């Protein structure tokens, strides 16, 4: 968890980064931003920090031997010597500009901030924030002039919508720092890795969010690839296992592989099939086999849409299976030449 009640915005540099691939330019300021009003400073702190609320953390990946001057090395030098802050903000902004080659990427303001006294998972530390605002919105400015009201329009940044950002906490340096990321403008599939990988060179930390997401992916893939009609498993039975998987993660605080197998897979032959599938899945995806970990509800919420217990029948009907798969039977109507389901229930709501 990230807390910023005591946070102080100590230094801020502002530049502009255009789309290099489209021939746009970058504009660099010549000095640190000087905040003249306390209200503006408080607004900036809220704009930069309020979007960071999840338990998803990243760390810097290993740099290539040739690529020494990256965000990782610049940030480390700033933490060691604060006098390098502005100079290195120019280098990091240039680095971002050099990565801005995709034709659909938007130009925008670049901010680099130094914060004192942020708290991450109970630890008080400094942090460097790197942000980019890309989208402008139209605002109405209403003011009174003598006995009449006048209305003007202005384009500006919505202070409740940070487009891109990262907070690099000065902790766990040897592991590549603890880093939180925001990217609300990553819907362009071809440019989705622009912020986290091309620019920042980050990888997800192997903590509870990572482990929860990987195990949910394993369970989902097992249901969709193994529990199929080709393997003589009816859709309601597949939905039952998917429903049990989701409920397990929703209801538990900690994951235990043996408990998961007993409660979700239940039948010995299903447990055996899941173990075999998980071993191959981990090998194919270069995953470490983790048998116990704390469950991240953030990961559960992000992934539960992939575990929906829904049987889709042509384009006419959807059957949501929440439990009691023995109350749904599949059959075939010889006369119509069509499949059918029979549902048993006590009352209609």
Q: According to the 3-state scheme, what is the secondary structure of 118-129?
A: EEECCEEEEEEE
Tell me what pLDDT residue 320 has: 67
Tell me what pLDDT residue 5 has: 87
Q: What is the pLDDT along the chain (349 residues), one digit of tens a residue?
A: 888 888 999 999 999 999 999 999 999 999 999 988 899 999 999 999 999 988 899 999 876 544 556 899 999 999 999 999 999 999 999 999 999 988 888 999 999 999 999 999 999 999 999 999 998 889 898 988 888 898 989 888 888 889 999 999 999 999 999 999 999 865 666 667 889 999 999 999 999 999 999 999 999 999 889 988 888 887 778 888 888 898 899 999 999 999 999 999 988 999 999 999 999 999 999 898 999 999 999 999 887 766 665 666 777 676 666 656 666 777 777 888 888 778 777 777 7
Q: Is the pTM of this model over 0.85?
A: no
Tell me what pLDDT residue 331 has: 78
Report d(CA 168, CA 180) in Å as an integer. 7
Do the beta carbons of residue 58 and residue 205 sit within 8 Å? yes
Q: Which helix (H) or strand (E) holds 301?
A: helix 297-303
Report d(CA 214, CA 281) in Å as an integer. 10
Report d(CA 243, CA 309) in Å as an integer. 6
Tell me which residue of 193, 197, 22 sits closest to 106, measured CA to CA.
Answer: 22
The pair of structure tokens assigned to 285 is: 């995806």
Tell me what pLDDT residue 272 has: 94
The residue assigned the tokens 């900036």 is: 44
Q: Helix, strand or coil for residue 227?
A: coil
Q: Supply φ then ψ for residue 227, to 5 degrees.
A: -85, 70
Report d(CA 200, CA 96) in Å as an integer. 9
Do the beta carbons of residue 121 and residue 97 sit within 8 Å? no
The pair of structure tokens assigned to 284 is: 């194919």
The pair of structure tokens assigned to 195 is: 């912020």
Report d(CA 125, CA 79) in Å as an integer. 11
Report d(CA 330, CA 237) in Å as an integer. 11
DSSP state of 345: -
Do the beta carbons of residue 216 and residue 300 sit within 8 Å? yes
Tell me which residue of 328, 219, 311, 319 sits closest to 265, measured CA to CA.
Answer: 219
Tell me what pLDDT residue 65 has: 45
Q: Helix, strand or coil for residue 108?
A: strand
Tell me what pLDDT residue 266 has: 85
């Amino acid at each position: 968890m990230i807390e910023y009640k005591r946070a102080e915005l100590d230094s801020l540099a502002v530049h502009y980064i255009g789309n290099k691939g489209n021939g746009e330019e970058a504009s660099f300021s010549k000095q640190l931003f000087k905040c003249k009003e306390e209200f503006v400073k408080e607004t900036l702190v809220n704009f930069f920090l309020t979007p960071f609320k999840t338990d998803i953390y990243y760390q810097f990946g290993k740099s290539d031997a040739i690529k020494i001057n990256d965000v990782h090395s610049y940030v480390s030098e700033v933490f060691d010597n604060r006098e390098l802050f502005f100079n290195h903000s120019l280098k990091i902004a240039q680095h971002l500009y050099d990565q801005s080659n995709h034709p659909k990427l938007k130009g925008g303001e670049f901010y680099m901030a130094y914060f004192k006294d942020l708290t991450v998972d109970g630890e008080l530390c400094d942090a460097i924030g790197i942000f980019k605002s890309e989208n402008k919105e139209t605002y109405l400015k209403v003011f009174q002039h003598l006995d009449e009201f006048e209305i003007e329009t202005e384009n500006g940044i919505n202070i409740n919508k940070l487009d891109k950002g990262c907070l690099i906490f000065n902790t766990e340096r040897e592991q590549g720092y603890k880093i939180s990321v925001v990217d609300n403008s990553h819907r362009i599939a071809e440019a989705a890795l622009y912020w986290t990988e091309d620019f920042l060179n980050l990888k997800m930390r192997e903590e509870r969010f990572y482990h929860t997401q990987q195990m949910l992916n394993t369970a989902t893939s097992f249901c969709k690839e193994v529990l199929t009609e080709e393997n003589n498993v009816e859709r309601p039975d597949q939905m039952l296992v998917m429903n049990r998987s989701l409920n397990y993660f929703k209801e538990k605080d900690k994951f235990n592989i043996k408990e998961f197998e007993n409660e979700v897979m239940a039948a010995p032959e299903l447990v055996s099939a899941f173990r075999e599938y998980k071993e191959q899945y981990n090998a194919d995806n270069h995953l470490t086999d983790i048998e116990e970990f704390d469950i991240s509800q953030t990961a559960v919420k992000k992934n539960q849409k992939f575990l929906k217990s829904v049987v889709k029948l042509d384009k006419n009907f959807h059957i949501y299976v929440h439990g009691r798969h023995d109350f749904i039977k599949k059959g075939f109507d010889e006369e119509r030449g069509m499949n059918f389901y029979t549902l048993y229930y006590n009352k209609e709501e």
